[in-house]
């Protein structure tokens, strides 16, 4: 144990970074989890004595992160943020499905109780869920039921996608379009609309309409997280007559500022 601790304790910044020092453990058990946790706790206490006390007092994250379950994309790590910064929901291919009770519960709690200011929808290239949905294969229930949501995204954008001959490039574009559709699905939820109306009517108190929605994509090959260059404001303006639940409270639509924070993601800090 001493040699393991010695090797692991050399990894600094334990709150923000993962330890990458290789340590061998027996594959038949999960000892590495408990050993690494002990080292992490020790390191955190040495650099931030009040950290765990602060964590125990409650949470007030600014961000709701909706991402893929892929093990290569740990949200806090790739964003360089400590625990407590992100409220996280992850599933295969970062879907926002209105009949997914888990996702809808997370969104409701994050938006109406925690009152997050931003929602980040993060897809990633080389996504197994996206690649599986592009195959004409029955993957079996319940996975196939889930992948159908991605196939629906493909159907909505079929002309654009079918025009891309290179399959790798097509898959990358489907990753981006899927993120866009899930960001759009967020707007359709009552929780997001309700909170945006509340903050719209009290902008002097909140500073800006919340939550802002940010479609993003992660490149595992480089570690880069970037916003998608999309005009969400235009998309949502077209959707509002159908999906808008609080039109009477917003006055004259876009002219009233309803879609503030829904423009190109790179322009919405």
Give the residue numbers marked as catalytic. 68, 70, 72, 124, 127
The answer on whether 166 is annotated among ligand-binding residues is no
Q: Is residue 21 a contact partner of residue 10, using CB atoms and an 8 Å limit? A: yes
Instruction: List all residues 6 or more positions away from 160 whose beta carbon is below 8 Å from its beta carbon.
Output: 173, 177
The answer on whether 157 is annotated among ligand-binding residues is no
The answer on whether 118 is annotated among ligand-binding residues is no
Q: Is residue 163 a contact partner of residue 155, using CB atoms and an 8 Å limit? A: no
Q: Is residue 77 a contact partner of residue 99, using CB atoms and an 8 Å limit? A: no
Residue listed under structure tokens 């765990």: 52
CA distances from 222 to 76, 120, 124, 225 (A): 17, 20, 11, 9
Instruction: List all residues 6 or more positions away from 243 whose beta carbon is below 8 Å from its beta carbon.
Output: 187, 188
The answer on whether 11 is annotated among ligand-binding residues is no
Q: Is 19 left (phi over 0), alpha (psi -120 to 50) or beta?
A: beta
Instruction: List all residues 6 or more positions away from 114 whose beta carbon is below 8 Å from its beta carbon.
Output: 59, 60, 61, 64, 87
Annotated binding site for Zn(2+): 68, 70, 124, 127
């Amino acid at each position: 144990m001493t040699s393991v601790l010695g090797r692991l304790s050399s990894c600094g910044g334990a709150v923000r970074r993962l330890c990458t020092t290789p340590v061998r453990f027996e594959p038949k058990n999960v000892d590495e989890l408990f050993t690494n946790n002990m080292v992490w706790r020790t390191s955190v206490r040495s650099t931030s004595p009040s950290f765990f006390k602060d964590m125990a007092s409650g949470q007030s994250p600014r961000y709701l992160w909706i991402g893929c379950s892929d093990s290569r994309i740990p949200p806090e790590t790739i964003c360089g943020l400590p625990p407590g910064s992100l409220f996280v929901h992850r599933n295969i291919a970062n879907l926002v499905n209105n009949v997914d009770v888990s996702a809808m519960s997370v969104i409701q709690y994050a938006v109406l109780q925690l009152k997050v200011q931003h929602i980040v929808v993060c897809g990633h290239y080389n996504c197994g869920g996206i690649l599986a949905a592009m195959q004409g294969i029955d993957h079996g229930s319940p996975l196939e039921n889930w992948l159908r949501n991605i196939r629906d995204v493909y159907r909505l954008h079929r002309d654009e996608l079918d025009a891309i001959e290179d399959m790798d490039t097509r898959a990358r574009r489907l990753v981006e379009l899927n993120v866009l559709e899930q960001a759009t699905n967020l707007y359709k939820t009552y929780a997001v609309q309700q909170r945006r109306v509340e903050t719209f009517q009290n902008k002097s108190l909140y500073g800006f309409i919340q939550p802002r929605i940010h479609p993003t994509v992660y490149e595992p090959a480089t570690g880069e997280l970037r916003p998608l260059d999309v005009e969400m404001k235009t998309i949502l303006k077209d959707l509002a007559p159908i999906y808008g639940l609080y039109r009477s409270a917003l006055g004259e639509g876009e002219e009233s500022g309803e879609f503030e924070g829904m423009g190109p993601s790179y322009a919405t800090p």
